[in-house]
Chains A and B, each alone.
Chain A
């Protein structure tokens, strides 16, 4: 065959191929999961079931293609790169409220607040009380999938030795008693057994790790303030008095804070600290190390400390969810298909079962308002009591601030406020006044975040 004829046949073939593809009757939705195997495994199973169901949007069958999002240098940077190079998926999970604010300010995510499917998902997962905390300038950009509510991880043996045999400390007054006991003869006896410090929290001295402020400062700020925000729009709403109380709470522990990195402390036979901050993601690690939970075991979870008994222990929730991208390479048809997929996953007859699968596969509590009342989860929680406490905290958990300058704001809080205060408190034998440090932090946070 001559070259001209070959090229002609090739061109005709390509033309037919393109036409056939356009008329194939499918719309492909790219869906990115978090860059970890557990979440990918869960979604892969869901997607296979969905694709087998041949759900349609218009006349076209939806085909969801799932992959893990890139995590180098970070998952957020991976999304940034995808949006910049027009290779973004129509849908991804693993988005927290702070990054959602950045995406919303860039105009690259859909506001779903008034969408029928969104309202249906909120109802089916009983999230009516949860979603107001996720609003960004009155709009909604994320369907939260899970929440890791922050709390304290207590060394039961040490706790009992310090006089807390019946229950974990829950108030700042309880902490004061604990500190006094640790610095007295009971503490000396513990130190002789290798329990060197009361509170394992080197992150208090690491302001460059801005996300750690979620897990210490913001956790206690929510507990002390009743779930109030740090930032609203362009205004710093952090209450200086409450911030000072939080500083003082940590500072009261003084040199009994373990300021050195010790990642395996709670996996050892002799745990060298009485308490640390933690979330459900640590549970599998300690269970693998053979630890048992409960007052008759090795460890027990406790809520954030509140000002006085009876206060609701609001806490920070490391929570992420699904968001729908727009613009660039993403077509309206793909967005509708992504919406149809999410609607299917969280349909009233499926949402509890799918969330139960999520919990089983990932070990993370789904963001639902009925975790402690829905029969679908009762069996799991009964067999895993360490999740029971945290399940009750989900309803009082507060997500990250909705600010595109969140990282700078929290870095400033740590650099100019918390870390210098804790350094001073650890060196001092008497209480250090937190007010000047809080004032410095507020000035720095306003400057870093362009806040009023």
Chain B
């Protein structure tokens, strides 16, 4: 290559890079203003005792992080995040897979209608759902009256840590399973019918067909749903906020609830920002681990 043609190629690359940056600039500006800037500011906030109201503040170094590591509430949120992860992800994935197959097996005329019906819980307001659940499980509800009167069973739904935890898990699984089912349904619909026919000819049916043929075909979508569900497990807030306040005995508290309480109830904004950063680190590590495992499974 001559020097002139190399220079010409460099100028072309520079011109193309400028065009690329120009078209990318709206998102870059958006990311800087709404993500990177606040992230840097949040990190600065963790090093101060500012409550966002006072006109003065002081450096406190890593004291907010130290307080967070020593906090019983933050520890409970950390532990609960894994409990929610361990319950919400597999149950919602299993239910979503089941619903996807139900949809896949429906006549074409009904697929659209049922897709919408399965999606409705995802659209429902967390507040409205929580209010309904609160009344459903209240002492004098018809359900509890029947349990006590007919089955002679008395369950303290919101004062028993196990019962309260599973109520919240149940609400979240109900809310998202239909939504995830649509992802998996789309993936099932995209499997060429010839593959299914070939599998039948070869005698692969039932569970064997599912694990050897279907699941590998939809694995990338399962990976996506897994990551979404894992992220969801870390963003639980409305349900414990409205139903249990994080109790009983911190059994249902979450990262987001503790972050909210620190920042907007106790007005310890620096401490709340420290909780937020610890939560972000926790999410990053967990999601990274999940994607690493799924990458290996997908490669196989």
Contacts and interface: CB of A to CB of B under 8 A. Distances in A.
6 contacts: A80-B53, A80-B264, A80-B267, A105-B54, A108-B54, A202-B158
Contact of B157 (A205, A260, A264, A328): A260
A103 B267 CA distance: 10
A74 B53 contact: no
Contact of B140 (A77, A102, A264): A264
Contacts of A268: 140
A222 interface: no
Interface string B217-237: 000000000000000000000
A80 B140 contact: no
Interface string A75-99: 0110111011000000000000000
Contact of B248 (A105, A205, A262, A407): A205
Contacts of B202: none
Contact of A106 (B54, B248, B250, B253): B54
B51 A106 contact: yes
Interface string B131-173: 0001101111000100000000000111100000000000000
A327 B158 contact: no
Interface string B195-233: 000000000000000000000000000000000000000
List the 3 closest pairs (A to B, CB-CB), nearest first.
Answer: A208-B245, A106-B54, A260-B139
A262 B140 contact: yes
B264 A73 contact: yes
Nearest to B154: A260
A262 B245 contact: no
B52 A83 contact: yes
A258 B139 contact: yes
Nearest to B245: A208
Nearest to B57: A106
Interface of A: 73-74, 76-77, 79-81, 83-84, 102-103, 105-108, 202, 205-209, 258-265, 268, 272, 327-328, 404-405, 407-408, 415, 419
B247 A108 contact: no
B294 to A, nearest CB: 36
B266 A405 contact: yes
Given A206-B245, A208-B244, A258-B139, A102 B55 contact: no
A102 B53 CA distance: 9
B265 A205 contact: no
B246 interface: yes
Interface of B: 51-56, 134-135, 137-140, 144, 156-159, 244-250, 253, 260-261, 264-267
A259 B159 contact: yes
Contacts of A265: 139-140
B266 A407 contact: yes
B245 A261 contact: no
Nearest to B144: A260
B52 A84 contact: yes
Given A206-B247, A261-B139, A262-B140, A108 B260 contact: no
B259 to A, nearest CB: 12
B260 A404 contact: no
B134 to A, nearest CB: 7
Contact of B247 (A81, A207, A260): A207
A106 B50 CA distance: 9
Contact of A261 (B134, B260, B266): B134
B216 to A, nearest CB: 45
A194 B261 CA distance: 39
A158 B106 CA distance: 58
Nearest to B56: A107
Contacts of A108: 53-55
